[in-house]
Structure 1
Amino acid sequence: MNGVILEIVLAAVAAILAITLHEAAHGFAAWGLGDDTAKLQGRLSLNPLRHVDRVGTIILPGILLIGQLVALGHIGFMFGWAKPVPVAAWRFRHPRQGMALVAAAGPAMNFFLAWIGALCGWLLPYVSPQMMAPSASFIQDFILANIVLGLFNLLPIPPLDGGRIMVGILPLPLAAAWARMERAGIAVVLLLLFILPLAARQAGYNFDPIHEILSRILPWAMRLVFNLAGQSV
């Protein structure tokens, strides 16, 4: 039982760090492009409490962590969000393109953190035997949380970062139509992520498009991160 509790704590810390730094990256990117709204509201902080959303950062990831560890014995998928960083896109020189860059900063931060986590694997031989297992578990959880969060947010559905990137790169008429999806975007994500797969399983069908996409890309992304860190897997 103590081992399960430790695994939950380590995975929760990894997920909170991934989500928090993802949001902070949005704020720093906006600041760099000329919008200091997040700075003025204290959101350029690395303090997780500044970014935590009670449901998206704690309750939902906690349910997923505990459920997967109890049912599967490992963590295969994470989903969550933090309080959105306030951005005044009109303050950018090119608002649509600036917002796309701000959106891309979140996943970019996650991929960078995953690479840092892989580099930390080189330190494991110097860790004491008692700390070897929890250290290796935390590194694995940290890399996985960041890669999954980064990849998931690149799905081209507003208000995910990928949707906002699409708004920045599409021709204006298409971009306007794409942006209008944001009002229903979270509902679409939850529908594809939870409701339809559950209903399909109850009916005896296998329909889980988001999980299918991520499960195909995730092994390749994990190998790439470790290879870039100089480690073969």
Structure 2
Amino acid sequence: MDDLIQKITIYALPVLFAITVHEAAHAYAAKRFGDATAYMMGRMTLNPLKHIDPIGTVLLPILCLVTGGFLFGWAKPVPVNFSGLRNPKRDMRWVAAAGPAANFVMAVIWVLLLKLSMVIDNDYSVPLRLMSQAGVGINVTLMVLNLIPIPPLDGGRIVESLLPPGTAYRYSRIEPYGVWILMGLLLTGLLSPIMRPFMNLVYYLLSQLL
């Protein structure tokens, strides 16, 4: 029990930052490219309460920590009216890419904090090191997970924006089944092998900062 509480304490802040900044980045990009839907609904904010999904942000990550499995979860998706963008087909990819890009930036920040924890020697160095390691892992996982080319994940939106109109429409019809496909990959143990090579690549890039 003490071990679980320690894990939750270490992971809570990195998880909240990861999902909050990810969703706020989508909202900011959407407003930047012409759609203020998320902004008008109060979702262009760093207040985590606006983005938390009780199951995807709280329950599922805790269950993953308890079982020692693949850390998995989601936040409430930011509402985007893609037809409200100035150039819907082109701008869709930038709005979608904003979330994973934000996770990469946060992973860099956590790497720098990890580096700091290695050079300081006080009561905060060990907690900072553990939290920084968690922050790097969570953001890399969230970044790679969201870039999987399955609608409605960000990777799916990016692929859709690059396809010819007819093909893009047929591809978008996968969206209602996207979450079920993802859950199927998770439950069959295929999700981790798919993501691992790409996560290792990101870890390698981040390691060059140390």
Question: Higher Cα Rg: structure 1 or 2?
Answer: 1
Asked whether 1:126 is paired with 2:120, we answer yes
Structure 1 residue 114: Cα displacement? 0.3
Contiguous gaps of at least 5 residues in structure 1: 69-75, 198-207
Contact 1:77–1:148 (CA under 8 A) maintained in structure 2: no
Structure 1 residue 139: Cα displacement? 0.2
DSSP-derived class of the 2:86 partner: coil
- Out of 183, 203, 207, the residue aligned to residue 222 of structure 1 is 203
1:25 matched residue in structure 2: 25
Partner amino acid, structure 2, of 1:126: I
Structure 1 residue 118: Cα displacement? 0.8
Q: How far apart in 2 are the matches of 1:12 and 1:102?
A: 26
- Report how many residues are paired: 209
2:151 matched residue in structure 1: 158
Partner amino acid, structure 1, of 2:120: Y
Mapping for residues 4-43 of structure 1, pairs under 5 Å: 4-43=4-43
Q: How far apart in 1 are the matches of 2:4 and 2:53?
A: 25
Structure 1 residue 127: Cα displacement? 4.7
Structure 1 residue 61: Cα displacement? 1.1
- Out of 102, 108, 125, the residue aligned to residue 109 of structure 1 is 102
Asked whether 1:185 is paired with 2:200, we answer no
DSSP-derived class of the 2:124 partner: helix
Contact 2:34–2:85 (CA under 8 A) maintained in structure 1: yes
Q: How far apart in 2 are the matches of 1:179 and 1:153?
A: 16
**What do residues 99-133 of structure 1 show as CA deviations (whole Å, max 9, x unaligned)?**
221111110100111011111123212251x3222
Contiguous gaps of at least 5 residues in structure 2: none
Q: How far apart in 2 are the matches of 1:4 and 1:31?
A: 40
Partner amino acid, structure 1, of 2:173: R
- Out of 152, 162, 187, the residue aligned to residue 169 of structure 1 is 162
Q: How far apart in 2 are the matches of 1:17 and 1:77?
A: 19
CA RMSD of superposed structures (Å) = 1.5
Contact 2:113–2:129 (CA under 8 A) maintained in structure 1: no
Partner amino acid, structure 2, of 1:28: Y
Contact 2:27–2:39 (CA under 8 A) maintained in structure 1: yes
**What do residues 25-65 of structure 1 show as CA deviations (whole Å, max 9, x unaligned)?**
10000011111111111111101001111111111111112
Contact 1:111–1:147 (CA under 8 A) maintained in structure 2: yes
DSSP-derived class of the 1:63 partner: helix
Structure 1 residue 209: Cα displacement? 2.7
Contact 2:4–2:65 (CA under 8 A) maintained in structure 1: no
Q: Normalising by the residue count of structure 1, what TM-score does the alignment of the two structures yield?
A: 0.85
Alignment CA distance shift 1:212-1:45 (3 Å): same
Identity among equivalent pairs (%):
40
1:97 matched residue in structure 2: 90
Q: How far apart in 2 are the matches of 1:37 and 1:87?
A: 6
1:138 matched residue in structure 2: 131
Asked whether 1:88 is paired with 2:84, we answer no
Segments of 4+ moved more than 4 angstroms: none
